[in-house]
Amino acid sequence: MLATTITPLRGPRVVLRAWRKEDLAACAAMNADPEVMRYFPAPLTSAENDIMVQRIIAHFAQHGFGLWVLEIPGVLPFAGFVGLLQVGFNAHFTPAVEVGWRLVRSAWGNGYATEAAQCALQHAFMTLQLKEIVSLTVPANKRSQAVMQRLGMVSRVLDTFEHPRLPHGHPLRVHLLYRLTREDWLAQRYGRASRYVTIRDNT
């Protein structure tokens, strides 16, 4: 069942909403697009897509957050998915929550991914009160890194790691890690003074 009680998030042009049955076909088409899947091991079959969506729904049930469907009202009922994911493997930076995105190609180049990710970060830092969010990608995925940088995320050479789910020697195994703390996000959004107010409120 896709029906869930996931709370939607809204930005000026975007809605992050719960999954519906009709999203499955659109998501399958996105996951079968070699350009969208260029920096993943392979495009997904329709069966693999369905399993992925079921995992996303289960993640919401387990953690209360996840990868929302990105809708651009009046433009695209399914523009991809954006949201928050508990990192599912062990690494030097785990446990950690990741912000991630995958958009249909026709939605690229409009700022939608960055706007939607900003909604997810707001949820992570203000509602969930998480202290840090990470994001990971391969060095060649410059578009994804550009989103991370627009969000104010920072990568350090020392955080570069080998993805444990890919075999040694796989061309996508080396990953960059970008990080953003709640303090830095607050300071970027609301000015330096806001972080001290928030920190004091939470102690």
Ligand X SMILES: CC(C)(COP(=O)(O)OP(=O)(O)OC[C@H]1O[C@@H](n2cnc3c(N)ncnc32)[C@H](O)[C@@H]1OP(=O)(O)O)[C@@H](O)C(=O)NCCC(=O)NCCS
* Pair 112, 79: CB distance under 8 Å: yes
Residue 86 found at the interface with ligand X (CB under 6 A): no
Whole-number minimum distance, CB 194 to ligand X, in Å? 24
Output the six-digit token pair for 94.
């785990």
Q: Which is nearer to ligand X, 20 or 150 (CB)?
A: 150
Output the six-digit token pair for 193.
């003074």
Report the C-alpha gap between 136 and 99 in whole angstroms.
Answer: 8
Residue 147 found at the interface with ligand X (CB under 6 A): yes
Query: Considering only residues 26-85, where is the footprint of ligand X by CB under 6 A?
Result: 36, 39
* Pair 107, 80: CB distance under 8 Å: yes
Matching residue, tokens 């996508």: 172
Choices 47-55, 71-79, 99-107, 164-172 (CB under 6 A): range interacting with ligand X: 99-107
Choices 48-56, 71-79, 102-110, 122-130 (CB under 6 A): range interacting with ligand X: 102-110
Report the C-alpha gap between 163 and 81 in whole angstroms.
Answer: 22
Range 59-73 burial, b when 16+ CB lie within 10 A, else e: bbeeeebbbbbbbbe
| Of the residues 102, 123, 179, 182, which one makes contact with ligand X according to CB under 6 A | 102
Choices 58-66, 67-75, 111-119, 123-131 (CB under 6 A): range interacting with ligand X: 111-119
- Site residues, ligand X (CB under 6 A): 36, 39, 101-103, 108-114, 137, 141, 143-144, 147
